[in-house]
Structure 1
Amino acid sequence: MLAKSRSREVRVRLLPPRLMVYFVLARALFSGEPYREVLRTLAEAVRREDGWGAWRVPDKAAVFRARQNLGVEVLRELLVHAGVAVADERTPGAFWRGLRLMAMDGTTLQAADTEANEAGLGRLRTKAGKGPTGYPLARVMALVESGTHVVCDAAVDSYRVKERALAERLSSSLRPGMLVLADRGLPGAYIWQHLAATGADLLWRIPGIWKLPAEEVLPDGSWISTVRGGRGRSVRPPQDIRLRVIEYSLDIPGRDQDERYRLITTLMDPTAAPAAELAALYGERWRTPSPN
C-alpha cells in the first residue's frame, strides 16, 4: 500500500511512513492517550526488531509533521484491502436465513483545530447561530458487518454533508445476499431506491412522521404500503416504491410509555421473513453475539 502512495520510505527516519500507519491505527485503540505515549507503546512492541533497540520517541511537533506527511492515500488503500466482510456461517450474529447482516450508521468525529480543517469541515454553530463552537467536525458513514463489527467501507466529509449523501457513496459495497440495517436518521425515498437497486435487501427504522397506509395486511401483522419515490439527482420521474412495514412496541425500563418502532423492508414475504424475527434483528444489530 505504501508503494502505491507518495508515502514510500526513501530513507530510514525516526518516524517512517510504515510506523505512522501503525500509529494512526493505535490512536483508534488508545484515543485518550497523548501522541507520544501511543508511540512509546508501539516502540516497546518492536524495539528489538529491525535495529529499533536504540529508537527514541521524537518530540510532538515531529509526530504532527510525520502524520501530516503520511496523508490519507495509504489509509484509504488500507480500507479498500482490509475492509471486507470476514464472517462465515459459523460466526454468531453474522447471517440470518442465508443473508449476510450489515449495518449502516453515521457519526461525527472531532478533527484537529486547524484553519484547513475548519475550512474543509466546518464547526458546529452556537444555538443562537452567532458563531462557531468546538472543534472542526467530520461526518462519517460506515458500512459494518454486524457479526464482527468489521468496517467494510466508509465515507467521510464535512459535518454539513447529510448522512444520506454519504450513504449513497457506499452503494458500490452493497450487493445481493446482504441485509442492510439502518436507523431512522437515514431513510429517504431516493436513498432507499438507490441502495435497493444494488440488489441488497434493506431493513430500516423510519421516523413516525412517515405516512404508510396499509394496502394489504399480512398474516404476521405487517403490511404492504406504497410511497412516492424521490427524484434525487435523476432526470427520470419519481417511481412508486412498494415496501413492507413492521410496527411493534418495546417496554423500556424507566419510561412511562412503551417505545413504538416502525421498520420498512424490501423483504416482502412474511413466511420467508417473519415480522417478529426482523424486529429482533433490528434490536440486536449492534450487540456482540456470544460465541456460545
Structure 2
Amino acid sequence: MTDVPDAPSGGGRLTDHIGIGVLTRLVDRDLVDEVLVDTGKREQRVRLLPARVVVYYVMALCLFFGDSYEEVMRTLVDGLRALGSWSKEWRVPTTSAITRARTRLGPEPLRELFERVAVPCARPGVPGAWLGTRRLMAIDGFVLDVPDTPDNDEEFGRSGGAKNPAPFPQAHLVGLGECGTHAINAAEIGPWNTNERKLAQKLLVAFEPGMLVIADRGFYAFQLWADAAETGADLLWRMPAGPHLPVVTPLPDGSYLSFLSDPKVRTRRAVQKHRGQTVLDELSGPTVRVVEYEISNRDGSHELFCLITTILDPDVATSVELAEAYGQRWEFESSLDELKTHQRGRGAVLRSRSPDLVKQEIWALLLTHYAVRQLMSEAAEQADIDPDRLSFIRSLRVIRRQVTRQAGFSPSAPDGGPRLHDHRDM
C-alpha cells in the first residue's frame, strides 16, 4: 500500500474527517484512538488507510452488506466534497489494499470497542426491561455462515458431517442481551460445534448483581448454574427433562423450594426432618425455587415449563411474575434475528475470507447492532414510548441514509439526541 500524506483544503488529512454518521456519537474518534493505542494498533507512520479509518470502515461494511468494498469506502468519503475536505489526490483504495489494511488492524480493536461501548441501556420503567429492581437479561446462541475458504473451514468447521456437509463453514456465537431494548451487551465466538454452555461460561464476567439472567433449557448444567450464581446476578433458567427436583418446601404462590444435585458427586439426595421442619441434607446442592406451569401451543398440544430461580422469596417475585419474565427471553431471540437476518441480509454470508477477519467482522456487526439499538433506546425514551414500538429495519434505513449524507459528521439533534422517533422516517 502506498503511503499518501493526503492534505485536503479544509486542513488536516482527508481521512481525519471520515466517520460513520450518527453512529460516531457512540463510537467517537477519541475512543477509537484510545482503543488503538491500548491494543497496539496505532500506526507510527501516515498511511492511505489509517487504523481509525479502517475501524469505521469495517463498521460501515456491517451497515451496507450488499455493497462492494470500494462502494462502501465511497459511501464514507462521498459527503466530504461538500465539506471542502476532499483531496483530489486521494483515491478510493482497491479491494486488496483494503483487505491488507483490515489484516493489519486485526479483530482485537473491534472486540475492545464492543466491550467498552455495549453496556445495558434500559432506563428504569422501560416496559419488558425489569422485574422489580432487577434488569432482565438473556443468553442465547446462533451461527453465522462464513466464506468457504480452507482457513475458515479449518478454524470454524461446518455442520452436516462428511456425508452431508453444510455449504459454508459456520461461526458459533453466544450472546448476553437486554430483553427490554434488544441490545446485545456481551458475546463469545467459537467454531460451529462449540458447546453453547462452554461459550456461556466465558460470558459470566458480564453477569452483575441487579441482573436477572434468563436462559433456555439447553444452557442448564450444574456447574454452569453454580458458577453463574456466584457472580451475584439472579438466575431464571428453564430446566431440561431429567434432573430430579424434590419438593422440599411448598410456597403459597404454587412454587416450591428444592435443591440441585451435582451429577459428579454421589449424594444421598435425602430429605431429613429437623425440629419438625423439612431441611436439606448437607450433601445436597444449592437451594433453588421451582416454578412449573403449562402452556397451550397453537396446534392444541400442551407444554410443561419447569423454571428454576435464585429468587427464593415469593414476596420478591411471584411465580406468575417469574413466568411472565421468562417470556421476555423471546425478545432477545428477536435481537439475534435482527442481527443475522435484517442487518446482515437473509441468507447472506459474511465477507471475510480468513478467521481473523471473520472475527473482526463479527465484532463490528455486534458493535453496529448495539449502536443502532442504543440510539433507538434513547429515541424511545425521549418520545416516552416502548422501544418495541420502533422498527429496527426502519431505524437501520435512517442511519444508513445519515451515513451516506453526512459521512464526516457526528450528527445529532439540536438537543444532542437522535431523531429516530421522527414518524416521517419510522
Q: Would the TM-score normalized by the shorter structure come out above 0.5?
A: yes
Q: CA 1:279 to 1:53, structure 2 compared with 1: closer, same or farther past 3 Å? A: farther
CA distance in 1 between partners of 2:129 and 2:84 (Å): 39
Q: CA 1:60 to 1:193, structure 2 compared with 1: closer, same or farther past 3 Å? A: same
Residue 74 of structure 1: CA displacement? Answer: 0.5
Residue 274 of structure 1, aligned match among 299, 318, 322: 318
Partner residue, 1:35: 69
Residue 49 of structure 2, aligned match among 15, 28, 39: 15
Query: How high is the TM-score relative to the length of structure 2?
Result: 0.60
Q: CA 1:45 to 1:18, structure 2 compared with 1: closer, same or farther past 3 Å? A: farther
1:110 aligns with 2:145: yes
Partner residue, 1:259: 303
Q: CA 1:239 to 1:260, structure 2 compared with 1: closer, same or farther past 3 Å? A: closer
Residue 197 of structure 1: CA displacement? Answer: 0.8
1:248 aligns with 2:344: no
Aligned pairs, how many? Answer: 284
Residue 37 of structure 1: CA displacement? Answer: 3.5
* 1:28-67 superposed matches below 5 A: 28-46=62-80, 48=82, 51-52=85-86, 54=88, 56-67=91-102
CA distance in 1 between partners of 2:309 and 2:303 (Å): 20
1:124 aligns with 2:169: no
- Asked if structure 2 preserves the Cα contact closer than 8 Å seen for 1:190 and 1:231, the reply is no
CA distance in 2 between partners of 1:248 and 1:61 (Å): 57
- Asked if structure 1 preserves the Cα contact closer than 8 Å seen for 2:178 and 2:184, the reply is yes
Q: CA 1:274 to 1:90, structure 2 compared with 1: closer, same or farther past 3 Å? A: closer
1:216-245 C-alpha deviation (Å, 9 max, x unpaired): 32222222222212559xxxxx96132112
Residue 34 of structure 1: CA displacement? Answer: 3.7
Task: Give 1:256's aligned amino acid.
Answer: G
Q: CA 1:176 to 1:56, structure 2 compared with 1: closer, same or farther past 3 Å? A: same
Residue 134 of structure 1: CA displacement? Answer: 2.3
- Asked if structure 1 preserves the Cα contact closer than 8 Å seen for 2:259 and 2:284, the reply is no
CA distance in 1 between partners of 2:255 and 2:84 (Å): 62
CA distance in 2 between partners of 1:44 and 1:231 (Å): 62
Residue 201 of structure 2, aligned match among 168, 173, 179: 168
Percent same amino acid at aligned positions? 42
1:227 aligns with 2:260: yes
Query: How high is the TM-score relative to the length of structure 1?
Result: 0.85
Q: Which moved more, 1:192-201 or 1:15-24?
A: 15-24
Unpaired segments ≥5 residues, structure 1: 233-237
Residue 200 of structure 1, aligned match among 233, 246, 259: 233
Q: CA 1:29 to 1:244, structure 2 compared with 1: closer, same or farther past 3 Å? A: farther
Residue 273 of structure 1: CA displacement? Answer: 0.9
- Asked if structure 1 preserves the Cα contact closer than 8 Å seen for 2:126 and 2:386, the reply is no
Unpaired segments ≥5 residues, structure 2: 1-34, 266-282, 335-384, 390-426
Q: Which moved more, 1:204-213 or 1:5-14?
A: 5-14
SS in 1 for 2:218: coil
- Asked if structure 2 preserves the Cα contact closer than 8 Å seen for 1:193 and 1:229, the reply is no
Residue 265 of structure 1: CA displacement? Answer: 0.9
SS in 2 for 1:170: helix
Partner residue, 1:91: 126
SS in 2 for 1:168: helix
| Higher normalized contact order (CA 8 Å, seq sep 6+, divided by chain length) | 2
1:245-268 C-alpha deviation (Å, 9 max, x unpaired): 212222333x13133322111111
CA distance in 1 between partners of 2:240 and 2:295 (Å): 16
| Largest Rg, 1 or 2 | 2
Task: Give 2:119's aligned amino acid.
Answer: V
Higher share of residues assigned helix:
2
1:174-212 C-alpha deviation (Å, 9 max, x unpaired): 121111111222111110001001111001122234432
Residue 278 of structure 1: CA displacement? Answer: 1.0
CA distance in 2 between partners of 1:11 and 1:228 (Å): 60
Q: Which moved more, 1:167-176 or 1:144-153?
A: 144-153
Q: CA 1:111 to 1:283, structure 2 compared with 1: closer, same or farther past 3 Å? A: same
Q: CA 1:214 to 1:33, structure 2 compared with 1: closer, same or farther past 3 Å? A: farther
Partner residue, 1:235: none
Residue 33 of structure 1: CA displacement? Answer: 3.9
SS in 1 for 2:41: coil
Residue 105 of structure 2, aligned match among 70, 81, 104: 70
Task: Give 1:159's aligned amino acid.
Answer: W
Q: CA 1:207 to 1:33, structure 2 compared with 1: closer, same or farther past 3 Å? A: farther
